[in-house]
């Protein structure tokens, strides 16, 4: 029987629930995620050089994810025993041991459910996918990298900072925004409402382009 390939998840979609074996035991995803933000990212297979560097970097940055209330979980289509051996290599070569669960998905169940297999690229392994989910398990960011290009986890953190700020303050963030930079008042908020929401005032370059400092 041929594999059925799922469509990649799209923005606003509720990420499907699943059960899976991981390096930290069997989980039901919804129970594990609870009310946290989640980064779930896939790897084509174990013992791949680019993914080895990525997992080491994600482990190094885990305190940054923790500060933001974000849980991190990886996925590879290889079985659990290979994950354990790969984890030793990651710690040895990258200087940071895995400190978050890695899903073992040899059946491709989760990979297909989340649309992480792109058959035109390779029907047997996952592409390098990143999903950021909010506490309601809604998809807030999707990234798909080519096999030859390692992910930028600082960009993932930057987007999470933006999402958390914009959810809280009802603003948008401009090009190349970094935490602490000016934000933009949403066009859907009229000036009268903006005066109550942003008593510190703002700078209007155009009626639709109002710059504001928010904490």
Q: How confident is the model over 32-67, as pLDDT tens digits? A: 999 999 999 998 888 999 999 999 999 999 999 999
Examine the pLDDT at 123 and tell me if it is beyond 60: no
Question: What pLDDT sits at residue 201?
Answer: 97
Phi, psi (degrees; rounded to nearest 5) at 109: -60, -55
Q: Indicate whether 102 and 139 sit together in one domain.
A: yes
Q: Indicate whether 65 and 98 sit together in one domain.
A: yes
> Is 117 domain-assigned?
yes
> Is 160 domain-assigned?
no
Domain around 197: 170-212
Give the number of other CB atoms < 10 A from CB of residue 143: 15
Mean pLDDT estimate for the chain: 92
Total domains, the chain:
2
Give the number of other CB atoms < 10 A from CB of residue 30: 13
Q: Indicate whether 53 and 130 sit together in one domain.
A: yes
Examine the pLDDT at 18 and tell me if it is beyond 80: yes
Q: Indicate whether 133 and 33 sit together in one domain.
A: yes
> Is 200 domain-assigned?
yes
β-strand partners of 206: 209
Q: Indicate whether 61 and 114 sit together in one domain.
A: yes
Span 131-169, pLDDT tens digits: 999 999 999 999 998 878 999 999 999 999 999 999 999
Among 75, 66, 9, which residue's Cα sits nearest to residue 36?
Answer: 66
Report the percent of the chain where pLDDT is more than 90.
83
Catalytic machinery residues: 51
Among 96, 95, 44, which residue's Cα sits nearest to residue 74?
Answer: 44
> Is 156 domain-assigned?
no
Q: Indicate left, alpha or beta for 137 from its phi (over 0: left) and psi (-120 to 50: alpha).
A: left
Residue with tokens 């297909």: 112
pTM for the model: 0.92
């Amino acid at each position: 029987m041929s594999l059925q390939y799922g469509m990649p998840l799209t923005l606003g979609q509720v990420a499907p629930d699943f059960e899976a074996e991981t390096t930290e035991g069997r989980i039901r995803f919804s129970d594990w995620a609870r009310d946290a933000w989640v980064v779930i990212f896939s790897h084509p297979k174990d013992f791949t050089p680019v993914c080895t560097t990525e997992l080491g970097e994600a482990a190094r940055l885990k305190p940054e994810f923790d500060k933001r209330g974000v849980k991190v979980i990886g996925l590879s289509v290889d079985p659990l025993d290979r994950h354990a051996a790969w984890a030793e290599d990651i710690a040895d070569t990258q200087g940071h041991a895995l400190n978050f669960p890695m899903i073992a998905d040899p059946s491709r169940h989760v990979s297909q459910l989340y649309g992480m297999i792109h058959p035109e690229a390779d029907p047997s392994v996952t592409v390098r996918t990143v999903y950021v989910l909010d506490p309601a398990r809604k998809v807030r960011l999707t990234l798909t990298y080519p096999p030859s290009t390692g992910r930028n986890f600082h960009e993932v953190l930057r987007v999470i900072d933006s999402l958390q700020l914009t959810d809280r303050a009802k603003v948008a963030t401009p090009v190349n925004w970094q935490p602490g930079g000016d934000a933009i008042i949403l066009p859907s908020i009229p000036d009268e409402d903006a005066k109550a929401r942003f008593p510190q005032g703002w700078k209007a370059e155009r009626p639709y382009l109002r710059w504001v400092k928010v904490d």
